[in-house]
Homo-oligomer: A and B are copies of this chain.
Amino acid sequence: MSLHHPTVAIVGATGAVGSELMTCLESRDFPLERLRLFASGRSAGRKLLFRGQGIAVEELNEDGFPGVDIALFSAGGAVSRRFAPIAVRQGTVVVDNSSAFRMEPGVPLVVPEVNPDAITRHIGIVANPNCVAIVAVVPLWPLHRHTRIRRVIAATYQAASGAGAAAMEELRASTAAYLRGAEYQHRVLAHPYAFNLFSHDTRVDPTSGYNEEETKVMRELRKIMDEPELRIGVTCVRVPVLRAHSIALTVEFERPIAPEQAREVLTCAPGVRIVDDAAENHFPMPIEASGQDDVLVGRIRRDASDPSGCSLALFVAGDQLLKGAALNAVQIAERLVA
């Protein structure tokens, strides 16, 4: 790989994350020599603007990767499973935004604020974690380093963006239909979305009762933090918000920790911005997290259900498309070329 001026490819360039990947590469002035854009045949030939120039979208096929140093995959698990190994065999390093390889033992699962060193151990693929896992771990990790975390209970408020650009459009269109009293037949998500919320519509394991999203979040948090025994319980809920995921977190530590200590730790933590103004009732909100690199953290308080003083409650919001996906992938790529 040309370490300093690589050729970078985006696989899934026309999706919601693909578009944010281009924006991140541009805004962070990523030192690339050339950008190539791949998508399905349907989008081939379409031109997308990057650094003021139109780049034609190429149809993804098995011969596309020679000369590509880093490929940022964001076209779903099936595309990653099929094409990432081909890219790797052709010498490309893959940063994969899908869940296809995240839990494979040889694949580093990386949030640069947490485990940047894991990147160096890659054998061709670096996995970008699930968006909820990323948004949660950015504040959890510095707290864990300060006072060891024993248990995490999370309830999510996940935006449409997590299900892609089509889901965002379904939220808009179904809400507009509702407001004018018209029928709307939902196509992208499993349930009506206008002014409604629902349990994350991934498959539910009949034994555990947890859905795939929740299982991902729990497994991936343990892997990123390298704490295989960390106790985590997650409830994933889709809410009618366009982008940025929020999470209500209850965190049990091994020792008592005061909210003031946590606030101090988080104030210095990379990728975190404290939004915790009780007097103004100003706390993390998805509309303020949208477009922001940082994860917003607030409502930092002693968990009233734990008299030992070992538990804190907090509320966080992070842009699902940025830190939850594109930004984190580009940060990984930056480490690859550094």
A333 within 8 A of B: no
CB within 8 Å of B: which A292-314 residues: 298-307, 311, 313
Given that A175-B175, A239-B197, A240-B241 are known contacts, is A208 also in contact with B305, CB under 8 Å in the complex? no
Q: Tell whether, in the assembled complex, residue B195 and residue A281 are in contact, meaning their CB atoms are under 8 Å apart.
A: no
Q: Tell whether, in the assembled complex, residue B304 and residue A218 are in contact, meaning their CB atoms are under 8 Å apart.
A: yes
Closest to A276 in B: B209
Task: Please give, as numbers and ranges, the residues of chain B lying within 8 Å of A232 by CB-CB distance.
Answer: 304-305
Name the distance in Å between A175's Cβ and chain B's nearest Cβ: 6
Task: Please give, as numbers and ranges, the residues of chain B lying within 8 Å of A311 by CB-CB distance.
Answer: 233
- A interface residues, how many (CB within 8 angstroms): 65
Task: Please give, as numbers and ranges, the residues of chain B lying within 8 Å of A303 by CB-CB distance.
Answer: 153, 233
Q: Tell whether, in the assembled complex, residue A237 and residue B195 are in contact, meaning their CB atoms are under 8 Å apart.
A: no
A4 within 8 A of B: no
A interface: dominant SS = mixed
Query: Which residue in B190, B285, B305 is a CB contact (below 8 Å) of A281?
Result: B190
CB within 8 Å of B: which A186-205 residues: 190-192, 195-199, 201-205
Query: Which residue in B197, B199, B237, B305 is a CB contact (below 8 Å) of A151?
Result: B305
CA of A18 to CA of B293, assembled, Å: 45
Name the distance in Å between A216's Cβ and chain B's nearest Cβ: 13
Segment from A7-15, A117-125, A242-250 that makes contact with B: A242-250
Q: Tell whether, in the assembled complex, residue B301 and residue A197 are in contact, meaning their CB atoms are under 8 Å apart.
A: no
A206 within 8 A of B: yes
Task: Please give, as numbers and ranges, the residues of chain B lying within 8 Å of A315 by CB-CB distance.
Answer: 199, 235, 237
Q: Tell whether, in the assembled complex, residue A287 and residue B246 are in contact, meaning their CB atoms are under 8 Å apart.
A: no
Q: Tell whether, in the assembled complex, residue B281 and residue A199 are in contact, meaning their CB atoms are under 8 Å apart.
A: yes
Q: Tell whether, in the assembled complex, residue B197 and residue A246 are in contact, meaning their CB atoms are under 8 Å apart.
A: yes
Query: Which residue in B191, B248, B299 is a CB contact (below 8 Å) of A285?
Result: B191
Task: Please give, as numbers and ranges, the residues of chain B lying within 8 Å of A176 by CB-CB distance.
Answer: 179
Q: Tell whether, in the assembled complex, residue B305 and residue A235 are in contact, meaning their CB atoms are under 8 Å apart.
A: no
Q: Tell whether, in the assembled complex, residue A304 and residue B151 are in contact, meaning their CB atoms are under 8 Å apart.
A: no
Q: Tell whether, in the assembled complex, residue B152 and residue A209 are in contact, meaning their CB atoms are under 8 Å apart.
A: no
A234 within 8 A of B: yes
Q: Tell whether, in the assembled complex, residue B305 and residue A197 are in contact, meaning their CB atoms are under 8 Å apart.
A: no
CA of A174 to CA of B307, assembled, Å: 41
Task: Please give, as numbers and ranges, the residues of chain B lying within 8 Å of A246 by CB-CB distance.
Answer: 197, 237
Q: Tell whether, in the assembled complex, residue B199 and residue A283 are in contact, meaning their CB atoms are under 8 Å apart.
A: yes
Given that A197-B239, A239-B197 are known contacts, is A302 also in contact with B192, CB under 8 Å in the complex? no
A184 within 8 A of B: no
Task: Please give, as numbers and ranges, the residues of chain B lying within 8 Å of A278 by CB-CB distance.
Answer: 204-206, 209
A210 within 8 A of B: yes
- 3 closest A-B pairs by beta carbon, nearest first, are A209-B301, A233-B305, A155-B155
**Can you give 23 A-B contacts (C-beta < 8 A)?**
A153-B250, A155-B155, A157-B239, A176-B179, A179-B179, A191-B285, A192-B287, A196-B286, A198-B283, A199-B281, A199-B315, A203-B281, A204-B279, A205-B278, A208-B301, A211-B281, A231-B307, A232-B305, A233-B304, A233-B305, A237-B246, A237-B248, A240-B241
